[in-house]
Each structure stands twice: as C-alpha cells, then as structure tokens.
Amino acid sequence: MFVHALTPFAELLIVDEADRLKTAGLEQLRDHYDRSRLGMILIGMPGLEKRLARYPQLYSRLGFVHEYRPLSADELTFVLQRHWAALGLPLSADDFTDAEAIAAVHRITTGNFRLLQRLFARISRILEINDLHTITKEVVETARESLVIGSL
C-alpha cells in the first residue's frame, strides 16, 4: 500500500470474523481494496488462509498471515493478574479459591486470548449482577455457560 509522503496516516479496514463471510462478501472486499488505497486486516478462525487460497484474485493480495498461539502458563498468569486488577480484586496463586478459578479459566480457554477476553467480560457482568467480590470456580463456570463457544 502506498501512502502519500505528506500523510502520516493510512486508512485501514479491520474485518473481524472474516471466516464467516460468503464468497460475495470476500469479492466485495477485494474489489474495494483494488479501487482504493485502503489497507485491510482480516481476522478469523484457523483455516481462513486455506479458504482464501481458493480465491486466487484475493489470495494474491495477502501480505502475510499470522496465527496466534495459545498463551503459555506464564503469559496466562500475566493476563489474569491484569483482569483481576481491572476488577479491583487481588489475585494470589497461593489462595485456594484463586487457584481454582485460574485452573477453570485455563481449562475453558486453553490459553486462547480472544476467548479469555470474552470470558472475563461475562465474569465481570456476573460479579456486578450478583454483587460478588471474589472470582470463584463457580463464577468462571457460570460465565462459561453463557458463552457460545465452538467445539470444546
């Protein structure tokens, strides 16, 4: 993508759940890309690249593909500490209740960052609705039940 030398910005279109687009939608994106100086980021589930490979006109325009790996145990702990802190709650792996909740989060998300974000949005809502001040295994399980999660 070429950007005018005097313009430090570029237009960018981010398409989430691009794997759900039908062929006509993908073709519209390709056409729009060709007619403009627009940059695009397509976000989707694993396998999106293989699907796009069936459309050479679109696939030839891909700059690169990046697949996010699941969070490691240390990365997951780091992210969970921030989620607990954002809710104004302390997190201690030495506390049995916290350790159980951490294990439940890990089991449910398997380190999937995006699913972790969705799960914590539900956890936050459950804590608020029920005026709770502790994230327990039961809170995590209840949050999980309200999510639509692909084959787990």
Tell me if the pTM is above 0.75: no
Confidence of residue 1 (pLDDT cuts 50, 70, 90): very low
Confidence of residue 17 (pLDDT cuts 50, 70, 90): confident
pLDDT for residue 60: 86
pLDDT cut 70: percent of the chain above it: 92
| pLDDT mean over 63-92 | 91
| d(C-alpha 16, C-alpha 5), whole Å | 29
Q: For residue 53, give the DSSP letter.
A: T
3-state secondary structure 100-136: HHHHHHHHHHCCCHHHHHHHHHHHHHHHHHCCCCCCC
**Structural domains present in the chain:** 12-59 (no CATH), 73-145 (1.10.8)
Would the pLDDT of 7 be above 80? no
Would the pLDDT of 27 be above 80? yes
Average pLDDT, whole number, for the chain? 88
Q: Count Cα neighbours of 113 within 13 Å in the Cβ-side half-sphere.
A: 9
Give the pLDDT confidence of 85-125 residue by residue, as tens digits. 999 999 998 999 999 999 999 999 999 988 999 999 999 99
Confidence of residue 6 (pLDDT cuts 50, 70, 90): low
